[in-house]
Chains A and B, each alone.
Chain A
Amino acid sequence: GAVVSQHPSWVICKSGTSVKIECRSLDFQATTMFWYRQFPKQSLMLMATSNEGSKATYEQGVEKDKFLINHASLTLSTLTVTSAHPEDSSFYICSAILAASDTQYFGPGTRLTVL
């Protein structure tokens, strides 16, 4: 149980285009999902907290107009990187928690490369 999927697993795009990444909780309803960014050989950096049916809460320094997050249902959250640039290239990981649970379950990650 508690499986989280991400799609796509990797994506290459041209500079200036937008990319959407999906995060799904497959066998549970997730009231809260989190989006992280991970640079090579570094730890995870929390970008934003996404609650179903409400606006995401972004961490300091994360541009909300660039990284659009939508959590339209209890099993799906999306991250859209708008007008992507090479510096946005990174590994993006989502996680989800059961309502009132203490444990985050992570997706397999999406590697974004912007040319």
Chain B
Amino acid sequence: AQSVTQPDIHITVSEGASLELRCNYSYGATPYLFWYVQSPGQGLQLLLKYFSGDTLVQGIKGFEAEFKRSQSSFNLRKPSVHWSDAAEYFCAAIKAAGNKLTFGGGTRVLVKP
């Protein structure tokens, strides 16, 4: 079955430190991959997406993600976090255009001053 896994439920990071959120997928073929961020009580905002091509994808708010086919991973990174980056982050995938999104369980990021 198709699935998206985010191994880390919570991550605490100090402000100014780097952040990496893990995402693994299980699909028959490489899916389209997304990272979304959700602030408390809000909807989801698209950070970045990968369809094909360059495996290092740049997104908004200083985030980037790297697609690694050999590891079935699509990890999200930010070199230096800001207190405003505290939120829930969701990795998601679709098999093809117009298909249903499959979400990972989410990773809650806490930022220490």
Binding site for B on A (CB under 8 A): 4, 6, 32, 34, 41-44, 46, 49, 91, 93, 95, 97, 100-109, 111
Contacts and interface: CB of A to CB of B under 8 A. Distances in A.
B5 to A, nearest CB: 11
B104 A104 contact: no
Size class of the B contact interface (CB-based, 8 Å): 20 to 34
Contacts of B90: 43-44
B44 interface: yes
A44 B6 CA distance: 14
Interface string B60-93: 0000000000000000000000000000001000
A8 B37 CA distance: 22
B97 A102 contact: yes
A100 B104 contact: no
A4 B45 CA distance: 11
Contact of A108 (B32, B43, B94, B103): B43
29 contacts: A32-B98, A34-B100, A34-B101, A41-B108, A42-B105, A42-B106, A43-B90, A43-B103, A43-B105, A43-B106, A44-B44, A44-B90, A46-B100, A46-B101, A49-B100, A93-B43, A95-B44, A95-B101, A97-B98, A100-B98, A102-B49, A102-B94, A103-B34, A104-B101, A106-B36, A106-B44, A107-B43, A108-B43, A109-B43
